[in-house]
């Protein structure tokens, strides 16, 4: 943990422990004292015995492993406050992030925001299920009160002019952005290493990768640094960290959730998606950020495997680690034993149809990033060319940045990559329609998290990304040496409710969430 992060957390915890809202560098709000009302009752004449009634204070709530609805219920009952919950997560960041490097920046106003939300609740105003709930954001998602860096030293200290739309929606719903998380620099790969944040490590085995590029969010949630969080997914960047950190993670349909205010990798393939330890928490974040009411929460609450038909894409199981295949098959067998019908889905040439899933964003990155920077007058650099010239980036992305500088959108390869999108989408959708399927299944990664310094294989991101389709990863258990495995469920466009309902049905019969031994 950097000295700056450590100091911020120390100040925040001191403020929380002292009972004040003040944090160094901020102005404390006026102190309000609330006195409990006293009710006077006329008692009968005294008798030979005296009865004394003692008010028992509420039993404190332990947030470890809890769902967001359980936290809200505890707040309603007076067993938990937003300040106490925020302090719980700050303590965990302070204690465990040194060994993980999941966090780039801690919100210095987190306790202030929590205290303000507690006052709202005390006044009878509760914004919804995220009121007073701390969340983390991948550090390419813009925040107007904290740096947004994409993990790059070239953007160190940069604060955007406005919150990303999804951040604004989370805050309006009462969420507290407790911290920004590390990512593979500029979201360019799946290892989660950056010049600003270093190498994030997997909480289940710190010698291994956490997945990426949203690996900081994945590691932070597995380590319980927040209740839930957001990542971005261009090709597996939410789904792979979910699989590698024993989480649920959703890549929404292209266009369903806004990406404005996000430092881009691709004009046309970027999505922002939620990650969480429980399906209901993922659904709550979707309802807040997709601005659709409570449809996803309702899908999670009514989730079931009964009558569900799932097609297994066998072609996406190879090549693979047999231990990973066994866990994915075990999860499918569990679904089948609890009401789902699991069948084979040999979609013709599904791998060949999608082509190279990186063909679009490799060419779009420079243009998308330059356009973003042009709209940010306070950005320390104005273009990718300036970033490359500065040398302020991790050496691991040098070749990728050089290729991006040389890329053009006026090429047959780029046009062919765009042309594949409706072909893949229609192939998947037509097969599902013809075979009456609710979802398609395959490993999120055919290999477990690799040892840091080696090559990470197995990412199955391409079909959903090229097709612009939603895909949700569910935990499938662990390999014999304790590494998390993820099963990916892909659906039709805008079928997020169906995927969430299936995942919730699976969660009901799957083993309980297992935290890492930190």
- Give the sign of the dihedral formed by CA 25, CA 29, CA 31, CA 34: negative
Query: What secondary structure letter does DSSP report for 186?
Result: G
Distances (CA, A) of 101 to 92, 105, 238, 274: 13, 11, 18, 20
Residues 169-208 have pLDDT tens digits of 999 999 999 999 999 999 999 999 999 999 999 999 999 9
Residues 260-312 have pLDDT tens digits of 999 999 999 999 999 999 999 999 999 999 987 899 999 999 999 999 999 99
Which uninterrupted H or E stretch holds 508?
Answer: helix 496-509
Under DSSP, is residue 71 helix (H, G, I), strand (E, B) or coil? helix
Q: ω before 319 within 30° of 0 (cis)? A: yes
Query: What secondary structure letter does DSSP report for 262?
Result: B
Give the residue numbers marked as catalytic.
Answer: 138, 213, 237
In tens digits, the chain (518 residues) has pLDDT values of: 665 677 677 767 776 666 544 333 333 333 332 323 333 333 334 444 444 556 677 899 999 999 999 999 999 999 999 999 999 999 999 999 999 999 999 999 999 999 999 999 999 999 999 999 999 999 999 999 999 999 999 999 999 999 999 999 999 999 999 999 999 999 999 999 999 999 999 999 999 999 999 999 999 999 999 999 999 999 999 999 999 999 999 999 999 999 999 999 999 999 999 999 999 999 999 999 998 789 999 999 999 999 999 999 999 999 999 999 999 999 999 999 999 999 999 999 999 988 887 889 889 999 999 999 999 999 999 999 999 999 999 999 999 999 999 999 999 999 999 999 999 999 999 999 999 999 999 999 999 999 999 999 999 999 999 999 999 999 999 999 999 999 999 999 999 999 999 999 999 999 999 999 99
Instruction: Give the alpha-carbon dihedral of 169, 170, 171, 175, to 10 degrees.
Output: 160
Q: Which domains does the chain have, with CATH numbers?
A: 8-19+64-509 (3.90.1300.10)
- pTM of the shown model: 0.92
Tell me how far apart the terminal alpha carbons of the chain are, to the nearest angstrom: 16
Residues 6+ apart with CB under 8 A from 126: 120, 174
């Amino acid at each position: 943990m950097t000295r700056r992060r450590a100091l911020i957390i120390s100040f925040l915890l001191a403020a929380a422990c002292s009972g004040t809202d003040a944090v160094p560098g901020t102005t404390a709000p006026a102190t309000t004292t609330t006195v409990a009302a006293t009710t006077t009752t006329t008692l009968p004449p005294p008798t030979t015995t005296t009865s004394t009634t003692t008010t028992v204070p509420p039993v404190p709530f332990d947030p470890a492993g809890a769902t967001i609805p359980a936290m809200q219920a505890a707040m309603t009952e007076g067993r938990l406050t937003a300040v106490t919950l925020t302090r719980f997560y700050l303590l965990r960041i302070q204690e465990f992030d040194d060994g993980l490097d999941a966090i780039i920046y801690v919100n210095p106003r987190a306790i202030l925001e929590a205290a303000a939300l507690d006052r709202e609740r005390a006044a009878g105003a509760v914004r919804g299920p995220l009121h007073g709930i701390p969340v983390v954001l991948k550090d390419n998602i813009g925040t107007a009160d904290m740096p947004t860096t994409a993990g790059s030293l070239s953007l160190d200290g940069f604060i955007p002019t406005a919150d990303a739309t999804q951040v604004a929606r989370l805050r309006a719903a009462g969420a507290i952005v407790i911290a920004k998380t590390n990512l593979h620099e500029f979201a360019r790969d799946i290892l989660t290493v950056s010049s600003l944040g270093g190498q994030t490590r997997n909480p289940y085995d710190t010698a291994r990768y956490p997945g990426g590029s949203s690996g900081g969010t994945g590691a932070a949630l597995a380590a319980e640094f927040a209740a839930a969080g957001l990542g971005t997914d261009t090709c597996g960047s939410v789904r792979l960290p979910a699989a590698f950190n024993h989480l649920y993670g959703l890549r929404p349909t292209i266009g369903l959730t806004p990406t404005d205010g996000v430092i881009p990798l691709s004009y046309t393939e970027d999505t922002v998606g939620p990650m969480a330890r429980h399906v209901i928490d993922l659904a709550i974040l979707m309802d807040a950020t997709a601005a659709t009411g409570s449809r996803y929460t309702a899908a999670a609450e009514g989730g079931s495997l009964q009558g569900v038909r799932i097609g297994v894409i066998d072609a996406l199981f190879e090549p693979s680690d047999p231990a990973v295949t066994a866990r994915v098959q075990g999860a499918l067998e569990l679904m089948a034993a609890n009401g789902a019908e699991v069948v084979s889905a040999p979609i013709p040439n599904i791998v060949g149809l999608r082509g190279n899933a990186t063909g679009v964003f490799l060419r779009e990155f420079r243009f998308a990033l330059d356009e973003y920077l042009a709209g940010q007058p306070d950005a320390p650099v104005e273009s990718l060319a300036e970033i490359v010239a500065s040398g302020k980036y991790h050496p691991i992305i040098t070749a990728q940045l050089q290729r991006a500088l040389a890329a053009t959108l006026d090429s047959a390869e780029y046009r062919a990559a765009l042309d594949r999108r409706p072909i893949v989408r229609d192939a998947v959708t037509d097969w599902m329609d013809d075979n009456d399927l609710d979802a398609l299944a395959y490993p999120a990664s055919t290999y477990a998290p690799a040892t840091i310094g080696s090559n990470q294989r197995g990412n199955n991101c391409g079909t959903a990304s090229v097709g612009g389709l939603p895909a949700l990863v569910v935990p499938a258990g662990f390999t014999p040496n304790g590494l998390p495995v993820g099963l990916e469920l892909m659906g039709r466009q805008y079928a997020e409710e169906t995927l969430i309902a299936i995942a919730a049905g699976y969660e009901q019969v799957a083993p309980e969430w297992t935290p890492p031994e930190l």
